[in-house]
Amino acid sequence: MASKTAKTSTVPFADAPINASLTAEQKIDLLRTMVRIRRFEQTSLKYYHDGHIGGFLHLYIGQESVAVGSISLLGENDHVITAYRDHGHALAVGMGMDECMAELFGKKTGCSKGKGGSMHYFAPDKNYWGGHGIVGGQTPLGAGLAFALKYKGLKGCCLCYLGDGAINQGAFHEALNLAALWDLPVIYIIENNGYSMGTSQARSSAFPKEGLAARAEGYNMAWKKIDGVSLYEIRAGVQEAVARAHEESKPTMLEIMTYRHKGHSVADANAEKYRTKEEIQKYMNEHDPIEFWKNVLIGEGVITEEDYKAINKEAGAEAEASAAFAIKSPYPDESEIFDDIYWEVDNNTEAGRTGRHFFHG
């Protein structure tokens, strides 16, 4: 790489303490993680079109900075839960491409043994609690993870992600009330890509002129709106919320402005109908977080264009290798249908052996 020590950056938020302390290697790692997410998803899209992947595939392309920037701030007692557009968060917490890709292919080697699919990645060993398919359904769970941390007296927080389409679900409002009422260290991160599936924000949400997150005022909760193109801005904004959670056990609502380059899911046939091609192109050209961060790092002398190409190539190869791994992995066995339903049955405890648990056949 070009340099191990960064030049002084003039990019906004570069001088925030949490960013000023980043080493060159850490900055490159952030870039690498974003690129790996993108190449993973581009590869998954290819295999989806080839018929290897079933069901839904909600791509995160264009939003990578949100997961990577925020998760880069987390420590031992900090937890993550998100919705169905979950591949980026999974790779950001350190899940491997192999188990993630194999899950998409429905294989036994998948992170959920082929039982969850694209929307339901989990890695509790990495403090990652899914991967949830119902819009907004994860938001009370996020409050619960924070409740558990507080109950146990641990200094930690839960980052609970949701889309801008989830903010109108009742469960979310109930979770906000509980979080504020009970001072739960949860940070709700609204990834605002402007569309709840095919319905624009203007057609789906009533909100103050300051933005969606300003609804937090109604719950007497701190909030902030963040431009999601820049990892520096995301890290600076989220860090304030993490500190609030850690030091004061208080929740925060963040709204991070972002954009998905693709449709709501791969099955979204109208991705270029409810949005103009010009709009999509504008965001791809001017609001691509990877392109932005690459240029920041080149500007700081941390990497060269050649370094970036190498990172990209390496990530592409890793993604292809994960697809090869997925292809050669076996499908789950039919006998696994009744595993992982009851903990007590799986662990062959006395409770698990008492009474009939399954009624098939």
Partner 1 sequence: MPREITYREALREGLDEELARDENVCIIGEEVAQYNGAYKVTEGLWKKWGDKRVIDAPISEAGFIGMGIGASMLGIRPVMELMFYSFAYVAFDQMMNNAATCRYMSGGLTNCPIVVRGPANGGTNVGATHSHTPENIFANMPGLKVVTPSNPYDAKGLIKSAIRDNDPVYFMESTVLYGMTGLVPSNDELEGGELIVPIGKARVSREGSDLTLLAHGRAVVTSLAAAEILGAQHGISVEVVDLRSIRPLDEETIMASVRKTHRAIYVEENKPFCGVGAQISSMIMEQAFDDLDAPVLRITSADAPAFYSPPIEKLQLPTADEIVARALTIC
Residues that bind partner 1 (CB under 8 A): 79, 81, 110-116, 120, 122-125, 129-134, 137-145, 147-149, 151-152, 170-171, 173-175, 177-178, 181, 339-344, 346-347, 349-351, 354-359
Nearest to 255 by CA among 181, 205, 290: 205
Considering the complex, state which of residue 20 and residue 351 has its C-beta at the smaller distance from partner 1.
Answer: 351
How far apart are CB 122 and partner 1 at their closest, in Å? 4
Considering the complex, state which of residue 210 and residue 340 has its C-beta at the smaller distance from partner 1.
Answer: 340
How far apart are CB 340 and partner 1 at their closest, in Å? 4
Considering the complex, state which of residue 113 and residue 155 has its C-beta at the smaller distance from partner 1.
Answer: 113
Considering the complex, state which of residue 84 and residue 223 has its C-beta at the smaller distance from partner 1.
Answer: 84
Contact 93/121 with Cβ under 8 angstroms? no
Residue the block writes with tokens 């989220």: 238
How far apart are CB 75 and partner 1 at their closest, in Å? 16
How far apart are CB 58 and partner 1 at their closest, in Å? 15
Nearest to 133 by CA among 111, 112, 118, 114: 118
Sheet holding 186-192, edge to edge: 79-81, 158-163, 186-192, 252-257, 222-227
Considering the complex, state which of residue 133 and residue 316 has its C-beta at the smaller distance from partner 1.
Answer: 133
How far apart are CB 77 and partner 1 at their closest, in Å? 10
Q: Please, which residues have CB within 8 angstroms of residue 40's CB and are 6 or more apart in sequence? A: 87, 91, 97, 100, 101, 315, 318, 319, 322
Q: What radius of gyration, in Å, describes the C-alpha atoms of the chain?
A: 21
Considering the complex, state which of residue 106 and residue 228 has its C-beta at the smaller distance from partner 1.
Answer: 106
Q: What is the largest CA-CA distance in the chain?
A: 69
Considering the complex, state which of residue 220 and residue 285 has its C-beta at the smaller distance from partner 1.
Answer: 220
Contact 68/37 with Cβ under 8 angstroms? yes
- The whole-angstrom distance between residue 319's C-alpha and the CA centroid of its chain comes to 18
- The whole-angstrom distance between residue 92's C-alpha and the CA centroid of its chain comes to 8
How far apart are CB 236 and partner 1 at their closest, in Å? 28
Alpha carbon distances (Å) from 291 to 38, 229, 247: 12, 9, 35
How far apart are CB 40 and partner 1 at their closest, in Å? 19
Exposure string for 330-350, b = 16+ CB within 10 A, e = fewer: eebeeeeeeeeeeeebeeeee
